[in-house]
A and B are shown apart, each in its own frame.
Chain A
Amino acid sequence: MNEKNVFINCPFDNQYFILLKPLLFSIIYIDLNPQISETSDSGEIRLHKIKNLMLHSKYSIHDLSRMEPMKNKELPRFNMAFECGIDFGIKLSNPVTMADKKFLILDKEDFRYQRVISDISGNDIKSHKNNPEQIIKVIRDWFKPTNPNIPRHKEIWLAFAEFEFDYEKILNSEGYDPKDIHALTFSDIIEMYPFCQLHL
């Protein structure tokens, strides 16, 4: 289990991209390694990949804010809750090796989880209110006890804004759409994100 790895379980769509970017940024800014699975893999390989990422990550962040139908009369999205369950299963079935594994559950409203997934009560459950600044604050505050030198959330937020300027400018100049989550693969984005630390 890598002490610096943070597994991220969240939706991969353009609506969530405005939250995913500050989420990834804040994790890299505080010197940790975000671990996300590519969505394009085939079913079985993807599940194995997710399991390996969970096994090798000390921290896990599960965002359940989108476990709802995207349109009326559609079924809700189960992927995030399913992967969250797998991660809890890994921890519970390895009580010795995974004793230090920590979970952060994110949602868009306070206490909404109690209506649909009350079994996770007792864990760290925070609300980001669909606000990019708030998600940075929640992540930063959760990691604060593990690192006393962690910067203030305002500093990360301001650095993120500066990074966004470069991100949009560079992607536009290369013919990519900076608002399209599929314009680049996630590994590409993560490879690029460490350079945000040069803003320091």
Chain B
Amino acid sequence: MEQKTSKGKLIQKFINAASSNSGRVHIVPGKDGWSVKKEGSTRSMLVFASKRRAVIAAKEIASSEQIVIHRLDGAIAKRSSTSFALVAVEDVTLSRLENTREKLRVRFARSKRKRRVETYKRHRILKNVNRIKSTNH
């Protein structure tokens, strides 16, 4: 009995959710890129190659109250108010950029050290060759 009541309540919630169009904007990944779609419409407004650009475009839509970012399986990856969503994505991008910079810095330092070691070895070899030459003379 309790389960039936709960089911009826769920169905009513679904009817209410489906029949009301809020100011939400959905960002949905697909074969052709990231689609920006206003809730209730059947077509996407814009399609972008990157998620970040799609989020920026969604923020520009005047009526967007909330941006919902979906995963590849359609499930919700993130939902947030427009300003928060943008900041979050930018933060991710910035941290990625920082990581890349750090990696490059480490790689450069390693190659610099390697070069220094090679130069040192070359010098030692040359020194040894010179010493042998001078003793032979």
Asked whether A and B interact, the reply is yes
What A residues does B54 contact at CB under 8 A?
none
Also in contact, A164 and B76, with CB within 8 A (given A158-B42, A159-B42, A200-B42):
yes
State which of A106-114, A141-149, A188-196 sits at the interface with chain B: A188-196
CB distance from B96 to the nearest CB of A (A): 25
Does A133 contact B15, Cβ atoms closer than 8 Å?
no
CB distance from A167 to the nearest CB of B (A): 8
In the complex, besides A161-B37, A170-B10, A200-B42, 14 extra interface pairs with C-beta distance below 8 angstroms are A133-B74, A155-B43, A157-B30, A158-B28, A162-B40, A166-B14, A170-B17, A171-B10, A174-B9, A195-B11, A195-B18, A197-B18, A198-B18, A198-B19
Does A132 contact B13, Cβ atoms closer than 8 Å?
no
Complex CA–CA separation, A198 to B13 (angstroms): 13
What B residues does A120 contact at CB under 8 A?
none
Q: Which of B11, B14, B18, B26 contacts A158 (CB 8 A)?
A: B26
State which of B65-73, B102-110, B120-128 sits at the interface with chain A: B65-73
CB-nearest residue of chain B relative to A195? B14
Write 30 A-B pairs (CB below 8 A) sorted by A numbering: A18-B74, A132-B73, A151-B42, A154-B30, A158-B28, A158-B37, A161-B26, A161-B37, A162-B37, A164-B74, A164-B76, A165-B24, A165-B70, A165-B76, A166-B14, A166-B17, A168-B75, A169-B17, A170-B13, A170-B14, A170-B17, A174-B9, A188-B7, A192-B10, A192-B11, A195-B11, A195-B14, A195-B15, A197-B18, A198-B18
In the complex, per-residue mask of A158-184: 1 if CB is within 8 Å of any chain B CB, else 0: 111111111011110110000100000
Does A166 contact B18, Cβ atoms closer than 8 Å?
yes
What A residues does B9 contact at CB under 8 A?
174
CB-nearest residue of chain B relative to A198? B18
Does A18 contact B7, Cβ atoms closer than 8 Å?
no
Complex CA–CA separation, A102 to B28 (angstroms): 32
CB-contacts of A113-158 with B (<8 A): 131-133, 151, 154-155, 157-158
A73 touches B (CB below 8 Å): no
Complex CA–CA separation, A72 to B26 (angstroms): 40
Complex CA–CA separation, A179 to B74 (angstroms): 12
Complex CA–CA separation, A158 to B20 (angstroms): 17
B35 touches A (CB below 8 Å): yes
Complex CA–CA separation, A157 to B31 (angstroms): 11
What B residues does A155 contact at CB under 8 A?
42-43
Complex CA–CA separation, A124 to B17 (angstroms): 37
Complex CA–CA separation, A164 to B70 (angstroms): 9
